[in-house]
Amino acid sequence: MKRASRRSGVKGNLIGYSFIAPATIGFILFMAYPLLNSLYLSMMDWNMFKGAEGSSFLGLANYKEVFENEYFRVGFVNNILLAVMGVPLLIVLSLMFASLLNTNIFGRGFLRAMYFVPYITTITAAALVFSALFHPEFGPVNSFLREMGLNEVPGWATSVHWALPTIALFWVWKNIGYCIVIYLAGLQGISSSYYEAASIDGASRLQQFISITVPMLSPTTFFLIITSIISSFQIFAEVQVMTQGGPGTASVTMVYHIYDTAFKQYNMGYASAVSWVFFVIVVMITMVQWGLQKRWVKYT
């Protein structure tokens, strides 16, 4: 009986392992191994055409070069600016539109779908459309601004001063549908009894929004802030399609700098070092946010 139970137990374990094996193998091959390999490459002067034989060990020299490299500093500052410009605008607009779409307005279902369309559209296609809309000479946006009497219209993606705001604006437009959906889910979880009690006490709609909606949605807002900041630091395709990091270095980001160094200059060792520094920066920012959440996030 014991042998039979052992066999059945082993058989059950094998069946269980067979179910998790594809995911485990995929994680090892496509996540764990590349991650560890990049750590190894970050300490090498790696020649991707000659392999290990044509490469040499540098230790922490690549990491030292990262902090001395001007393009990395520019990319880091640009990423901070993108987060500062894009994340607050994305959160505020998403909350406003979600609150509006949570009411019984005409065409609510159609509007919800239309806001979500940019999010499910490929970045390349969306960026090309956005670039055409904001073309400095022939785009309909600047044509409208000229019709309104504005003589000096922005150069948008072709301007040193406007390239980064244009990327941020596109990123907000691209991701606002996802944030609206998340906020709508959070709004569905707020009991109507809170609003009924506030109405009886004479609170206006604005007062209800500030005193009930915003605090009750603070966990949702916290989640969206963290994911949005991480997303803003991962901006690459937008830059690649719209500006290629230009004009000059006006729109270079850390991820674009990694791509340019690794696949255009073929300096895999330095690019891997930048990737690990980038990873540490994102983790530190996330940890700071987790530490600050106790001051303003209210869980009910």
Q: Which residue has the higher pLDDT, 294 or 280?
A: 280
- Count how many residues are written for the chain: 300
pLDDT of residue 2: 54
Confidence of residue 6 (pLDDT cuts 50, 70, 90): low
**The domain over range 63-296 is classified in CATH as 3.50.50.60:** no
Looking at the predicted structure, is the pLDDT value of residue 4 above 60? no
Among 6-10, 28-32, 48-52, 218-222, the minimum mean pLDDT is found in 6-10
pLDDT of residue 217: 94
Confidence of residue 46 (pLDDT cuts 50, 70, 90): confident
Among 104-113, 117-126, 263-272, the minimum mean pLDDT is found in 104-113
Confidence of residue 5 (pLDDT cuts 50, 70, 90): low
Helix ranges restricted to H, 148-253: 163-188, 192-200, 205-208, 214-216, 218-233, 237-242
| Beta strands at 51-57 and 44-47: parallel, antiparallel or unpaired | antiparallel
Cβ within 8 Å of residue 184, ≥6 positions away: 98, 101, 102, 112
Among 61-65, 188-192, 273-277, the minimum mean pLDDT is found in 188-192
pLDDT tens column, 143-157: 999 998 888 899 999
Check if the beta carbon of residue 188 is closer than 8 Å to that of residue 216.
Answer: no
pTM: 0.89
DSSP conformation letters of 36-76: HHHHHHTTEEEETTTEEEEEEE-TTHHHHHHHH-HHHHHHH
pLDDT of residue 239: 94
Q: Which residue has the higher pLDDT, 141 or 15?
A: 141
Confidence of residue 300 (pLDDT cuts 50, 70, 90): low
Return the domain boundaries, the chain.
2-41, 63-296
